[in-house]
Amino acid sequence: MFKKKKKKNKSMARKLIVETDPKSFISEQFRTIRTNIKFSMPDKDLKTIVITSAGAGEGKSTVSANIAAVFSQEGKKVLLIDGDMRKPTVHYTFVLKNAFGLSSILTKQCQLNEAIQETDVENLYVIPSGPIPPNPAELLASKQMELIIDILQEEYDLIIIDAPPVLSVTDAQILSNKCDATILVVSSGDTQKASIVKAKELLDLSKANIIGVVVNNAVIEKGHYYYYYYGTAE
């Protein structure tokens, strides 16, 4: 079903810092995020998490990939799904083919196991977006998507979905309604407060369970940046 392990690809260095520099300050912050996710719902085993942002360019895909990797590092079998079928990036991060993916499964162009790819990170698997379809929102809202999530939950300890920005399209709202939890990524100093508030309102309307916010690109001292988890987005 899966290909043999490949040698680590240096092109991951730009985004998968928890793999390329696990002792760095940023990697430690991702481990803090992992801990806070676990504590966010102590009475429930979180199986599906949507990661999104208010607008584009806030780092949600980088955050998604590193959170997925840091969970896999503790031995969990993790699946990262590229739910952004408009501007997909996950296959670039992990240097994977994108001939088949989520869109292919949802349109029944391939079987589920044909779209799952092994990465260079142990215990971490990916379903890329697949070819860009003309109707992403309709595909994500389908019964087929619900069925896929149900099936995958039996196979993986944690499923993380990288979703499009909330204010751009309805995709993140649709996915958040189908999953256990949602995390909002905010770029420090760039994201307007009004945009954050609007994004939260839209997610609330979809009955999303927002468990927290990741503040990205916050400056702690000149020339250094970090990602920090701020608890709940109330």
Helix (H, G, I), strand (E, B) or coil at 216: strand
Residue 206: DSSP 8-state: T
Q: Are 58 and 171 in contact (CB under 8 A)?
A: no
pLDDT at 12: 53
List of long-range contacts for 192-199, beta carbons under 8 Å, 24+ apart: 195/54, 195/55, 195/167, 196/54, 198/54, 198/166, 198/167, 199/52, 199/53, 199/54, 199/165, 199/166, 199/167
Sequential DSSP letters for 33-63: HHHHHHHHSTTS---EEEEEESSTTSSHHHH
CA dist list (Å): 57 to 181, 190, 211, 217: 22, 10, 21, 11
Helix (H, G, I), strand (E, B) or coil at 83: coil
Instruction: Report which of 22, 19, 81, 16 is spatially closest to residue 52, judged by C-alpha positions.
Output: 81
Give, for 181, the enclosing helix (H) or strand (E).
strand 181-187
Helical H segments across 21-158, by residue range? 25-40, 60-72, 90-93, 102-106, 112-115, 136-140, 143-155
- Which tokens sit at 116? 């799952």
- Domain 11-229, architecture per CATH: 3-Layer(aba) Sandwich (3.40)
pLDDT at 191: 66
| pTM of the predicted protein model | 0.87
Q: Rounded CA gap, 184 and 203, in Å?
A: 10
Burial class of 30 by CB neighbour count within 10 A (0 to 12, 13 to 18, 19+): buried
pLDDT at 233: 37
For the chain, what are the domain ranges? 11-229
- pLDDT block averages, 10 residues each, the chain of length 234: 43 73 93 93 88 92 96 97 96 94 96 96 97 96 96 97 96 97 87 89 96 80 46 38
Which residue has 């990205």 as its token pair?
216
pLDDT at 2: 38
